[in-house]
Amino acid sequence: MNPKLTRRRFIKGVIASGAAATSTTIWYTANGQSRPAGAVERMIRININGQMRNVDVAPQETLASTLRYKLGLTGTKLGCNRGECGACTVLVNDIPSYACSVLTHSVKNMRVESVEGLESANGDLHPVQQAFVDELSPQCGYCTPGQVMSAVGLLRSNPNPTREEARQGMAGNICRCGSYDSYLNGVMRAAQIG
């Protein structure tokens, strides 16, 4: 089975969980209110950045909401909250995925990695992060965590991409500052030092 968490699977997941989803109403619920009657189990364990975390997750809650507002992992950004921009990209079982378009309940048994999980225990930056610093890849930085995660995912599946392969591999992440060229420089440098 294709492990990719597609938009289609997301929508199917929403339907299965009994919650209606539109692009504008997938909002974070700050506490345990609004629990629908007969809801599925809410306290779940998920593997985030190598740690098992217990978290109370509403049925229609997106992974981006869980990461940002339940677990305080605000490195994952929301640019559109509807699968258009890639700012929210995280890795789910090594596959770059839009966390705004993934239901947290659907990743219960999977490995989730966000930008916060990349640094080594001694604080060294991941090679992609270091390369992005060296190449001054970010401008405003808002798309950067998503770009970092896409690059990490790309290099895991293709450690020595050509520039064209990197361009294709990163194409799910938009950057309004237009720093694409600088990010590609970073990806190519990371592949070298990786």
Partner 1 sequence: MAYMHIGKDFVPPDVPGKVTGRIKYAEDYARDGMVYARLLTSPVPHGRVVNIDASEALAMEGVFGILTADDVYPDGEPQSPGLKVLTNEPTLMGEPILAVAAVDEKTAENAIAAIELTIERLPFVLDPLDSLEEGGANAYNGGNTFIFRQGFAEEKWTSDQVESFRSGNEPTAEAQQSWEYGDLEAGFAASDFVHETTFSTAGYPHMSMEPRSAMAYWENGKCFLHGTSQSLSAIAEPMAAIVGVPLEDFVFINEATGGGFGQRARAGSIPSMAIPAKLSLKINRPVMMRVSREEEFTIGGARQGLQGWIKVGFKSDGTMAAMDMYCVSDNGGKGGGGDANSAAAGVSALYQTEAMRFRNTSIGTNTGHRGAQRGPGENQIMAVVAPILDKAAEELGLDRLAIRKLNAAQNGDVSGPRSTPFTSAYMPEALQQGADQFDWEGKKGRSRQTNGSKVRGLGIGQGYHNAGRSGMDGIVRLMPNGRLQVHNGIGNLGTYSYASTSRAAAEVLKMDWENCDVVTGRTDRHLPITSPQDGSNSIFTNTRTCFGAAQDLLAKMKEIAAMDLGGETADYDVDGTRVHQIADNTVGMTYAEVAQRGIELGGKFSGESDLPEELNTLTTLSVSRLAGSALMGIYHDPRHSDNPPGFTVTYTEIELDKETGKFEILDMVTIAECGTVVHPQGLANQLRGGAVWGIGLSVLERHLYDPQNGLPASSGYWQSKIPTYLDTPAEIGTGWVDLPDPENPVGARGIGEPAMGAVSAALNAAISDALGGHLFDTSPVTTDMIINHIAGVSEEAKPLAQNNFRG
Please state, in angstroms and as integers, the Cα–Cα distance from residue 128 to each residue in 56, 72, 136, 153, 171, following that order.
Answer: 32, 23, 12, 10, 17
Which of 36, 160, 176, 192 touches partner 1 by CB under 8 A?
176
CB of 43 to partner 1, least distance (A): 18
Nearer to partner 1, 40 or 45 (CB): 40
Q: Which amino acid is at 191?
A: A
Partner whose binding site includes residue 191, from ligand FES, partner 1, none (CB under 5 to 8 Å by kind):
none
Nearest CB to ligand FES, comparing residues 19 and 80: 80
Q: Out of 133, 158, 159, 160, name the contact with partner 1 by CB under 8 A.
A: 133
Query: How far is residue 97's CA from residue 92's CA, in Å, rounded to a whole number?
Result: 6
When the beta carbons of 40 and 140 are compared against ligand FES, the nearer one is 140
User: Are residues 152 and 128 in contact, defined by beta-carbon separation less than 8 angstroms?
Assistant: yes
**Are 88 and 98 spatial neighbours (Cβ–Cβ below 8 Å)?**
yes
Q: Which amino acid is located at 35 in the chain? A: R
Residues that bind ligand FES (CB under 6 A): 78-81, 83-88, 98, 100, 138-144, 175-177, 179
